[in-house]
Amino acid sequence: MLCTWVGLGDRVTLEQGDATATHYAEGTFDKAFMMHVGMNIEDKQALASELHRVLRPGGQLGVYDIMRTGDADLVFPVPWATTASESRVSSPGEYKAALEAAGFRMVAEHDRGSFALEFFAELQARAGGAGGPAPLGLHILMGETAPEKVRNMIANVSQQRIAPVELIAEKTGRG
């Protein structure tokens, strides 16, 4: 429904499934991206291998995930997990090792922690100025615990435990 609302209903197909074992043929895609997916998947190597399999040689992969940037324990709940036992957050190094082992060449890495803090500050300012959250927003996905999850996310990013990290990789010529 959201794709239709923004005029992309005829260009986007959404599917639900296992990202470590898709039904797509080898070399189906020129480009792929993951946005806030990996922190829910334990086996980063299987994920990287499947992404490599479905991309054509020279294909590009963009990853934008929450990643561990420090050693301290996270404060829960957060948007993707209620408890530590549900969270599969990994470091950029772990992602890069899995991607490189699968046959990707790393092109770029960008820590977006500052961007995330600015985003949450603007989100809070808009919600406060409007007397509450917008009718459509993150709180719809996160439910009644959204304020606590957002506070914990901000605290975790502020204390450099985690950050959104952008990785760009390219599939090398091998299979």
Q: What is the CATH number of the domain that holds 82?
A: 3.40.50.150
**Nearest partner of 119 among 84, 81, 87, 163, judged by Cα:** 163
Q: Does 10 fall in a domain?
A: no
Number of structural domains in the chain: 1
Distance CA 144, CA 146 (A): 5
Residue 62 has a pLDDT of: 98
Residue 135 has a pLDDT of: 61
In sequence order, what DSSP letters do the residues of 100-121 get, joined into one string? Answer: HHHTEEEEEEEE-HHHHHHHHH
Give start and end residues of each alpha helix (H) in the chain: 2-5, 44-54, 92-102, 113-129, 138-142, 146-158
Distance CA 27, CA 98 (A): 19
Q: Does 122 fall in a domain?
A: yes
Q: Does 7 fall in a domain?
A: no
AA letter at 74: L
Distance CA 11, CA 140 (A): 24
Q: Does 23 fall in a domain?
A: no
Residue 143 has a pLDDT of: 73
Give residue 146's domain range.
28-171
Residue 173 has a pLDDT of: 73
Backbone region of residue 27 per phi and psi (left: phi > 0; alpha: psi in -120 to 50; beta: other values)? left
Residue 147 has a pLDDT of: 83
Residue 20 has a pLDDT of: 97
Q: Does 1 fall in a domain?
A: no
Distance CA 56, CA 47 (A): 16
Instruction: Say whether 98 sits in a helix, a strand or coil.
Output: helix
pLDDT per residue of the chain (175 residues) written in tens, 0 to 9 = 888 989 999 998 888 999 999 999 999 999 999 999 999 999 999 999 999 999 999 999 999 999 999 999 999 999 999 999 999 999 999 999 999 999 999 999 999 999 988 988 887 777 666 666 666 566 666 678 888 998 899 999 999 999 999 999 999 875 4
> For 61-92, what is each residue's pLDDT tens digit?
999 999 999 999 999 999 999 999 999 999 99
CA 89 to chain centre: 10
Residue 174 has a pLDDT of: 54
- Distances from the Cα of 71 to the Cα of 59, 78, 84, angstroms: 33, 17, 14
Q: Does 22 fall in a domain?
A: no
